[in-house]
């Protein structure tokens, strides 16, 4: 299937590790950019050896966490503490459009790769730096992973129930949200460079990404002083018909937030009497009698399975979805027909792509599987030797 390639002919140097940074460069590659991954001469990206449940793959430096955002890239192994390694790095940057890195500022300064030095030497370069806390402030050099930032930004404290205590989300959502935010920023910087001819320094904060994911909650607290409380599976709208409800088999999530949704729900459940019941007819009354309404909704939903209720409710115009496992979601016609999952023809490995289309076209598919550590070092060095003079 032909994919869209708006970043075709762009060169991205990927000096990243773990998940957020590699995901950002992977997304740029899915949009057509050529991505060269720089790894240490010894072990390479640490995520090669951990993450996921494939112990054999991890032992070989090809963990599923690495493979997820490794496709389409080439890998060069460099000793950046050596003069030769540093020289090769700068020769790559001289030809690159974008540098993506996710090291603390102190590490980049120690290597002579801080933003001021790179801007002076490579004024054309878009330098995208992704860190836990962003530049400035007392924590700019504090290392952080997704789980740390979930704790630091308030997301964990707002997740779960009063009984469960704080709960981390079941996936590294902040890693991937930060990667998407960084890709958005790179796109903006490329647009600006097209007008000015000069590169930019992009400072991406995982902490602020976490706060952005909670934007409406942040505003509510700043305006009212009411800190968020753990509400389990109840919706943030606090509407009595919004939340998760048990059925005879399975669970269904309802998003009954508008008056039209409530009317549609009543019709779909065969409870038109709710529309004239003084406890439920108007939204203010429904909030007062929320417990009674929830009890009645639960009683009706308990008569059929979630799989039976889902099409009935959706066709009636009720925002509804049954609780699915990840395998069930991936096997669904919706995911299949959108071609979101890419299967590498060489290895058979299936990986996620991008959640959007441009003019109906899905993202470009990786033209090669994730490389082994340093697999392309010789080819890249030959390319550098044959390439034209630096563009800077």
> Backbone phi, then psi, for 99, in 5-degree steps?
-110, 125
* 3-class DSSP assignment, residue 213: helix
pLDDT tens per residue across span 49-96: 998 999 999 999 999 999 999 999 999 999 999 999 999 999 999 999
Q: Which residues of the chain carry a pLDDT beneath 50?
A: 392
In this predicted structure, what is the pLDDT of residue 363? 86
Q: 74-78 and 241-246: which strand pairing?
A: unpaired
* Whether 198 contacts 123, CB under 8 Å: yes
334-350 in b/e form (b: 16+ CB < 10 A) is eeeeeeeebebeeeebe
Q: What is the pLDDT of residue 392?
A: 43
Q: Mind giving me the DSSP string for 30-43?
A: HTT-EEEEEEESSS
CATH label, 241-246+251-322, candidates 3.40.1350.10, 3.30.930.10, 3.30.1540.10, 3.20.10.10: 3.30.1540.10
Cα 246 from chain centre: 30
Domain with CATH 3.30.1540.10 in the chain: 241-246+251-322
pLDDT of residue 290: 94
Please state whether the predicted TM-score (pTM) of the whole model is above 0.75: yes
CATH class of 11-213+336-386: alpha beta
Q: Where do you find CATH 3.40.50.10540 in the chain?
A: 11-213+336-386
CB 119 within 8 A of CB 201: yes
String of DSSP letters for 329-346? HHTSHHHHHHT-EEE-TT
């Amino acid at each position: 299937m032909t994919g869209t390639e708006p970043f075709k002919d762009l060169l991205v140097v990927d000096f990243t590790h773990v998940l957020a940074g590699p995901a950002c460069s992977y997304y740029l590659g899915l949009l057509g950019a050529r991505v060269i991954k720089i790894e240490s001469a010894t072990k390479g990206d640490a995520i090669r050896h951990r993450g996921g449940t494939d112990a054999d793959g991890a032992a070989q430096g090809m963990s599923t966490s690495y493979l997820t955002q490794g496709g389409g890239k080439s890998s060069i192994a460099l000793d950046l503490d050596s003069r030769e390694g540093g020289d090769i790095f700068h020769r790559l940057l001289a030809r690159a459009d974008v540098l993506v890195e996710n090291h603390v500022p102190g590490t980049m300064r120690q290597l002579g790769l801080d933003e001021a030095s790179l801007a002076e030497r490579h004024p054309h370069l878009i330098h995208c730096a992704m860190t836990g806390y962003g530049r400035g402030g007392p924590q700019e050099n504090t290392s952080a992973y997704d789980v740390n930032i979930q704790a630091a930004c308030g997301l964990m404290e707002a997740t779960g129930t009063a009984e469960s205590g704080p709960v981390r989300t079941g996936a590294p959502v902040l890693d991937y949200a930060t990667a998407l935010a960084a890709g958005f920023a790179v796109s903006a910087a490329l647009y600006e460079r097209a007008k000015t001819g000069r590169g930019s320094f992009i400072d991406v904060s995982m902490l602020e990404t976490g706060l952005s994911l909670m934007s409406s909650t942040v505003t509510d607290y700043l305006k009212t002083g009411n800190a968020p409380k753990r509400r389990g599976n109840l919706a943030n709208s606090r509407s009595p018909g919004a939340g998760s409800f048990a059925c005879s088999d399975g669970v269904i999530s309802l998003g009954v937030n508008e008056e039209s949704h409530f009317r549609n729900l009543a019709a779909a459940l065969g409870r038109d009497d709710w529309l004239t019941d003084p406890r439920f007819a108007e939204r203010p009354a429904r909030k007062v009698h929320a417990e009674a309404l929830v009890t009645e909704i639960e009683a009706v939903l308990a008569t059929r399975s979630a799989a039976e209720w889902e099409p009935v409710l959706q066709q009636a115009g009720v925002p509804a979805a049954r609780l699915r496992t990840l395998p069930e979601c991936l096997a669904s016609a919706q995911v299949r027909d959108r071609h979101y999952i890419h299967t590498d023809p060489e290895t058979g490995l299936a990986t996620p792509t991008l959640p959007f289309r441009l003019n109906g076209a899905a993202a470009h598919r990786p033209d090669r599987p994730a490389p082994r550590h340093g697999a392309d070092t010789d080819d890249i060095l030959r390319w550098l030797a044959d390439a034209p003079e630096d563009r800077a």
